[in-house]
Structure 1
């Protein structure tokens, strides 16, 4: 009797931390054979560590990605195609559609991935967004900043993970930062393009709304590092705000998804509380990063990664029935994550306190990727996060206090050469 090999579950590239590895593990757990298409598979050490198949593919070439997916379909069948990297979600969706596999609308994904285009669609639909201008040179950035009113936020139109995002207070800061953004490659070496976004600074607290298809997963409270940058240094799930505020944030996020034609699979919508209510900062047509899915798993006992992998493979796994209040309304636990940040440029000499942090009350996971000999550099983006502590609690305050206390036990010692 011939035993048929499991079908391929194709991941187009991956993120380097967080969910990429989990996607592959979930695919295996659901009886599929994960394979990662990557320009440089060595970028993802977990592939070798976990024995995950990889194919060297120029993933910037969408036609080539589709061709390789068709080859895999012939060689063993393809259960689904997706990506845990925001830069490749549109490519993966197009490949899935070409194979007749479940996927979000590639046109909606592409429309959403361009922040300037996304903003224009949301504004036209009446969804609250910051005042913004799309510019193509530093002089135009300065003019836009003066028109909008300083301070302003500058960002690439196709960025991710706070890379290149900065609060600028005066004309000189705007001109200098804009000059550095134009044409600059991102952290993957992909071209940055010839447009940047200049937008109004909304100074209220930041949140994200996590959705799956048309269902609310929950509202997340975000902690940011020191200005002028926007590095996320922690998350609270669910957000520690009144139910009415959560409802307003969720409603605003859903309006944004509807305007953009999204609503298939996972979406991660970032908002700030403005003077007159929630304001959408950006919609990301993907599962959240920053280990937010793990927060949701701890708080809800529901695995978003497994649910999304099943959705991509054609088996929808709905969320447990919940109202607009999400996890808190359902009486679930609360969870919080605090990130271990780089101490500055230098070379790591030692990492201490991991065992103590892992043994602290309520802590469910602790990681630090830095090792002695590693070279550190402060990048003012998600890349400054060296590790994390995740903790649960009976309420939001307890979960946050536990995560912060345990994270404070970890010390990444280095020969710091600059701050």
Structure 2
């Protein structure tokens, strides 16, 4: 009997990438990571994950590597947890006759301008927007939409390159920077187009969807403008039933409008008054450790569901608990360093001892330099907590994050450590420019 393999085409560099491989093993399937640089993912070596070095951005090079694996084993499924490779994984799965989303739908979804047009055309509420290929076009779009505006790449994840611009000069500067980039943070060719959109100030949420079923509504904490670094999440979101239902209905409508509906989708929304508007749809499971929060709060394992769906196995989305789960990411407002090894270990140990903490981690080595976060890459660590309610888990997360912050040695004032204040959501701060 041939071995059964789950091909993982690249991975997200932080968060749940490791868990995809672990869940495959739990399902009796051997995970194989196909990557141009497996060293990008430390967990691969730490877990003894089988890897194949191949240019994953080059389909003519990727396919022979897949066929070679298929010659000696049964390919049970193909996935990617990376925003940049979900379409590639869908294409390979389709070519092998395996389950997966429509590659065309995934590609259209990943292009934020195309996604906006599809959603607006289907009547799904979105912010005002315009696509631009030149600086002058971006400035003109901002003038029409009204300042402030958000300027972002048409492709990307983790808030990379997303910026709030309060003046036409800021629009021109940031548009020029984005349009001059020839490659993104993964070294892949960057499109020479950007998106300019109206800025919504309401509270931000995500809805985790599997197929066409809304599984969870998550309250999001976002750092201060002009950047949009996600600093934490609480689950379940504390909302009146009417607003929760509106968010889930809008998220599912967005997934349908984009021709998705296989596997997981992470839908980000903001409330515009009482009405939700879709910020973006990601055709993959959420990052930011949100799947872990869903697992702790509701007993639903989104990563396991995605792995089993890719392998053609039965998937359960049955909720077996109603608890709270939260995550807070540690960021710094000022340049500094992590402390020496002893201080780092003490901070981690004390954070883990806070009641309700189920995980605490720092992402940098002792004495590594740190600075203000511009996107997800500036996050320095996290704490995950559980409790009988989202309010209880949020309180524990705030306490543990403050303890974890003792690992930092800022060069400025010791208080210059960004850890969201209790209840600190976009609407609580009344974000202004």
Q: TM-score, normalised by structure 1?
A: 0.94
Q: Secondary structure at the match of 2:84?
A: helix
Q: Secondary structure at the match of 2:186?
A: coil
Structure 1 counterpart of 2:59? 62
**Contact 1:343/1:416 (8 A) holds in 2:** no
Structure 1 counterpart of 2:390? 396
**Contact 2:337/2:368 (8 A) holds in 1:** yes
- C-alpha separation in 2, matches of 1:235 and 1:276: 21
Q: How does 1:194-233 map to 2 (within 5 A)?
A: 194-233=192-231
Does structure 1 residue 14 correspond to structure 2 residue 8? no
Structure 2 counterpart of 1:265? 263
Structure 1 counterpart of 2:25? 28
Structure 2 counterpart of 1:324? none
- C-alpha separation in 2, matches of 1:373 and 1:37: 33
Displacement of 1:64 in angstroms is: 2.3
Q: Unaligned regions of 5+ residues in structure 2, if any?
A: 417-433
Q: Unaligned regions of 5+ residues in structure 1, if any?
A: 322-329
Displacement of 1:390 in angstroms is: 0.9
Displacement of 1:417 in angstroms is: 8.3
Structure 2 counterpart of 1:173? 170
Structure 1 counterpart of 2:293? 295
Given candidates 354, 365, 372, the residue that maps to 2:366 is 372
Q: Secondary structure at the match of 1:353?
A: helix
* Residues 415 and 209 of structure 1: CA distance in aligned 2, closer, same or farther (over 3 Å): closer
Give the count of matched residue pairs: 408
Structure 2 counterpart of 1:285? 283
User: Which digits, 9 at most, give the CA deviation of each residue in 1:244-282, with x for residues without a partner?
Assistant: 111000000111111100110000000000135000000
Displacement of 1:318 in angstroms is: 2.5
- C-alpha separation in 1, matches of 2:303 and 2:37: 24
**Contact 1:215/1:319 (8 A) holds in 2:** no
Structure 1 counterpart of 2:323? 333
- C-alpha separation in 2, matches of 1:412 and 1:341: 11
**Contact 2:269/2:277 (8 A) holds in 1:** yes
Does structure 1 residue 360 correspond to structure 2 residue 357? no
Displacement of 1:379 in angstroms is: 4.4
- C-alpha separation in 2, matches of 1:242 and 1:379: 33
Does structure 1 residue 88 correspond to structure 2 residue 85? yes
Does structure 1 residue 412 correspond to structure 2 residue 407? yes
Does structure 1 residue 38 correspond to structure 2 residue 35? yes
User: Which digits, 9 at most, give the CA deviation of each residue in 1:23-82, with x for residues without a partner?
Assistant: 011111111111111111111111111000111111111232233222211121211100
Structure 1 counterpart of 2:338? 348
Displacement of 1:377 in angstroms is: 4.2
Structure 2 counterpart of 1:237? 235
- C-alpha separation in 1, matches of 2:76 and 2:31: 10
Q: CA RMSD in A?
A: 1.6
* Residues 331 and 60 of structure 1: CA distance in aligned 2, closer, same or farther (over 3 Å): closer
- C-alpha separation in 1, matches of 2:95 and 2:231: 39
Displacement of 1:373 in angstroms is: 3.8
Does structure 1 residue 112 correspond to structure 2 residue 109? yes
- C-alpha separation in 2, matches of 1:7 and 1:92: 17
Displacement of 1:316 in angstroms is: 2.8
- C-alpha separation in 2, matches of 1:377 and 1:121: 38
User: Which digits, 9 at most, give the CA deviation of each residue in 1:109-150, with x for residues without a partner?
Assistant: 011000000000001111100110000111111110000000
Q: Secondary structure at the match of 2:239?
A: coil
- C-alpha separation in 2, matches of 1:171 and 1:90: 35
- C-alpha separation in 1, matches of 2:89 and 2:412: 41
Structure 2 counterpart of 1:145? 142
- C-alpha separation in 1, matches of 2:16 and 2:262: 18
Displacement of 1:347 in angstroms is: 3.9
Displacement of 1:236 in angstroms is: 0.6
